A and B are shown apart, each in its own frame.
Chain A
Amino acid sequence: MDWEFIGSHIPDYAAGAWVTLRFGLCGVGCAMALGLICCLLRYFRVPVLKGAARGYIELARNTPLLVQLFFLYAGLPRVGIRLSAEACAVIGLTFLGGAYMAEAFRSGLESVEKSQREAGECLGLTRWQNIRYILLPQALATAVPALFANVIFLIKETSMFSVLAMMDLMNVADTLRTSGGRTVEVLFMLAAAYLALLLPVSLLANLAERRLRYAGFGNQRSV
């Protein structure tokens, strides 16, 4: 292992990690918003839109991100829709992630007991107040592990941004590999960089899960 080589290229990887993280988090944020919207459209049974949400979720969950990205980046411009690489990255990740987030929110909502909804209704809350104050907070608490799993999954998926010619971690490594020939060091740093990015997310997920468990969330009913 050539430590000098590794040391001298840390800034390159830091720059790549910053690209990965920035666009990854951007996509994750948009995916959460889109997922929540889709989940609510289905929950409130909004005509037409709930069907559209369902169709979108199936489409996004059953196709690879790589193919989605090629379609956005190399296919769409040929029919006159030109998007920058960065836009493709965020749109692609949002498109893929929104479906997974929607499913996480949905199973969270389903885990809230029906009687909770009825108790809210009996207080004369509107449907929106009911979901805002009673159902969603409980659903979110149950959905936290699934949501964090999605975040990790999506950040890993950003490794495909390299096909968009973005200088993310993957592309930084690939460029170094093809130019320098120090394959082992390059790949070692690549793995280490992803570990450094994702370990904190994973620790955060554990922490959140434990705190919620202590707070007595979840659907177990004590009599």
Chain B
Amino acid sequence: MQDLGISVLFRGVNFQRLLLGLWVTLRIALITIGISIVLGLLFGIVMMSRSRAARSVCRVWLEIVRFMPQLVLLYLVYFGFARLFGWNLDGEASAVLVFSFWGTAEMGDLFRGALTSIPRHQRESAAALGLTRAQINRYILLPQTVRRLLPQVINLSTRIIKTTALVKMINVTEVLKVGQQIIGQFYREPSAAFWVYAAVFLLYFLICWPISLLAGSLERRYHE
């Protein structure tokens, strides 16, 4: 009965519903990526600052997101914050908060890594040519940093997109949840679940794969 199962996807507005669900996760991911890049820059700068205290805060922050599964962080914010502080954040807001908390630290670490990876003598030989500090930053350091950074930032972005699948667990109606609703409605089609989950799988792949390919090709180009 498999041919019947796959037809569930295209019956009525089912496919549009799936796409709308996907848009919910994507929207969360895009907002998160935007916030993470901006705050991550600050994070990276603070990580390189002279203040020991500021650096330690960043260090602990980074370790927390490295050690805690994102799902645990989501639960902490979604269920915990209501109890602790009386904040009743809805699922989407919790997700943006948690993923930005995570993304900021990871982005910041990438920025720091890229900035410190440029050999000292690059700055020194630019200074030896008589360039001003601003010129050195503009013409020597920035272009090299961006080249190093861009593929990594893109890769992290695909990770963020994949991770947003988790919002299903805090009752956000995203693509997986929509899929389950469809499966529920068409419970008479036994193979519907197979096709719906396969479709969700494929949808994620079709979004993340091109982005990964882009990162890969940038990496190869800049490597030469």
Contact = CB atoms under 8 A, between A and B. Distances in A.
A touches B in complex, CB < 8 A: yes
Given A68-B201, A74-B197, A183-B79, 5 more contacts: A66-B176, A67-B197, A67-B201, A156-B67, A187-B76
A170 interface: yes
Contact of A62 (B5, B80, B176, B204): B204
What does DSSP make chain B's interface, helix, strand, loop or mixed? helix
Given A70-B176, A78-B191, A191 B72 contact: yes
Interface of B: 2, 5, 66-72, 75-76, 79-80, 82-84, 158, 162-163, 165-166, 168-169, 176, 183, 190-198, 200-201, 204-205, 208-209, 212
A172 to B, nearest CB: 12
Given A61-B212, A64-B165, A191-B76, A157 B197 contact: no
A76 interface: yes
Interface in A147-202: 152, 156-160, 163, 170, 173-174, 177, 183-184, 187, 190-191, 194-195, 198-199, 202
A109 B62 CA distance: 29
Contact of B197 (A75, A158, A184, A198): A75
Contacts of B169: 66, 163
A122 interface: no
B192 A183 contact: no
A78 B205 contact: no
A78 B204 contact: no
Contacts of B209: 58, 62
B212 A58 contact: yes
B79 A170 contact: no
A77 B190 CA distance: 9
Interface of A: 58-59, 61-64, 66-68, 70-71, 74-79, 152, 156-160, 163, 170, 173-174, 177, 183-184, 187, 190-191, 194-195, 198-199, 202
A5 B133 CA distance: 59
6 contacts: A71-B201, A74-B183, A75-B193, A157-B69, A174-B75, A194-B69
Contacts of A199: 67
A187 B67 CA distance: 15
A213 to B, nearest CB: 17
A63 B204 contact: yes
Contacts of B75: 173-174, 177, 187, 190
A63 B163 CA distance: 9
A187 B208 contact: no
Nearest to B161: A64
B2 A79 contact: yes
Given A74-B197, A170-B72, A177 B79 contact: yes
Contacts of A183: 79-80, 82-83
Given A75-B194, A78-B5, A191-B76, A156 B204 contact: no
A79 B194 contact: yes
B193 A78 contact: yes
A66 B69 CA distance: 13
Contacts of A202: 66-67
A203 B66 CA distance: 13
A44 B26 CA distance: 39
Contacts of A173: 75
A158 B68 CA distance: 11
Nearest to A62: B208
A87 B166 CA distance: 21
A160 B69 CA distance: 9
A183 B79 CA distance: 7
A198 B67 CA distance: 6
Given A58-B212, A61-B212, A159 B71 contact: yes
A74 B212 contact: no
